[in-house]
């Protein structure tokens, strides 16, 4: 958490500095490199001023959008693959014990898919989200350590809550395991782009003062 908070803070500072980018502020060790780069910029963008406008405008907005989008689901899945393989190994050992098929399916949906896959990806996304949000809040190394400790404790407590929920579900019945898995699957979808899609579906209310009826029953337009 400490490493990611510092990394996110440095990235945010770099993107923020692009708002006042000028080509004159860029330095080269060799004069030949400087002339070559400036000639290439003039050839591609027309002029150094046009390139500076591109960096301050579209490039900076693209970097901000990629930062706000968060970690893609494929990367979250890649991070939790060690946990997923551990869960798959547990299920393989359970299969060799020849348990009742209800217990096997309950463990498969409730533990392997519910905890190791879905809940693990939610934890990864939530942890990175908190680190990114806390990146600009601290002003000292000591505060960075305190924020890292809070993120770590929240991460551990959330992980334990997911494990405990899976234990209750799998000990109850197969139906409870399926309900738990479906709930965590919805949460996974919401944290990996689903909430943004839901927000786009909300109608934006528009109100025009001209359309507001007055006390006389008129619509507010002069005749």
DSSP for 112-133 reads IIIIIIIIHHHHHHHHHHHHHH
Based on the fold, state whether residues 158 and 61 are members of the same structural domain.
Answer: no
Asked whether the whole model's pTM tops 0.85, one would answer no
Mean per-residue pLDDT, 169-198: 86
Of the pLDDT bands very low, low, confident and very high (cuts 50, 70, 90), residue 125 is confident
Based on the fold, state whether residues 136 and 192 are members of the same structural domain.
Answer: yes
Q: Is residue 219 domain-resident?
A: no
Can you give the residue range of the structural domain that contains 153? 70-202
Based on the fold, state whether residues 110 and 128 are members of the same structural domain.
Answer: yes
Question: What's the token pair of residue 136?
Answer: 């600009």
Separation between Cα atoms, residue 28 and residue 32, nearest integer Å: 9
Report pLDDT for 137: 56
Based on the fold, state whether residues 62 and 90 are members of the same structural domain.
Answer: no
Q: Give Cα separations from 108 to 92, 113, 124, 156 (angstroms).
A: 10, 6, 21, 23
pLDDT higher than threshold 70 for residue 11: no
Task: Please give the radius of gyration of the chain, using alpha carbons only, rounded to the nearest integer.
Answer: 26
Mean per-residue pLDDT, 185-198: 82
Report pLDDT for 223: 39
Q: What angle do CA 166, 172, 174 make, to 5 degrees?
A: 80
pLDDT higher than threshold 80 for residue 19: no
Q: Is residue 209 domain-resident?
A: no
pLDDT higher than threshold 70 for residue 45: yes
Of the pLDDT bands very low, low, confident and very high (cuts 50, 70, 90), residue 10 is low
Based on the fold, state whether residues 76 and 172 are members of the same structural domain.
Answer: yes
């Amino acid at each position: 958490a400490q490493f990611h908070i510092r990394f996110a803070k440095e990235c945010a500072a770099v993107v923020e500095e692009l708002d006042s980018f000028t080509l004159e502020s860029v330095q080269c060790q060799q004069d030949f490199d400087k002339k070559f780069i400036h000639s290439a910029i003039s050839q591609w963008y027309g002029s150094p001023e046009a390139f500076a406008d591109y960096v301050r405008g579209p490039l900076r907005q693209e970097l901000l959008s990629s930062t706000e989008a968060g970690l893609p689901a494929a990367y979250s899945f890649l991070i939790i693959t060690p946990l997923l393989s551990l869960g798959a190994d547990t299920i393989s050992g359970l299969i060799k014990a020849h348990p009742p098929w209800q217990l096997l399916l309950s463990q498969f949906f409730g533990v392997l898919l519910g905890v190791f896959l879905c809940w693990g990806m939610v934890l990864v996304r939530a942890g990175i989200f908190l680190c990114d949000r806390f990146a600009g809040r601290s002003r000292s190394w000591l505060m960075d350590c305190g924020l890292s400790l809070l993120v770590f404790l929240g991460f551990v407590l959330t992980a334990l809550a997911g494990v405990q929920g899976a234990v209750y579900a799998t000990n109850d019945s197969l139906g409870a395991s399926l309900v738990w898995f479906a709930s965590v699957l919805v949460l996974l979808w919401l944290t990996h782009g689903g909430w943004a899609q839901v927000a786009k579906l909300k109608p934006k209310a528009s109100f025009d003062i001209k359309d507001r009826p007055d006390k006389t029953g008129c619509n507010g337009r002069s005749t």
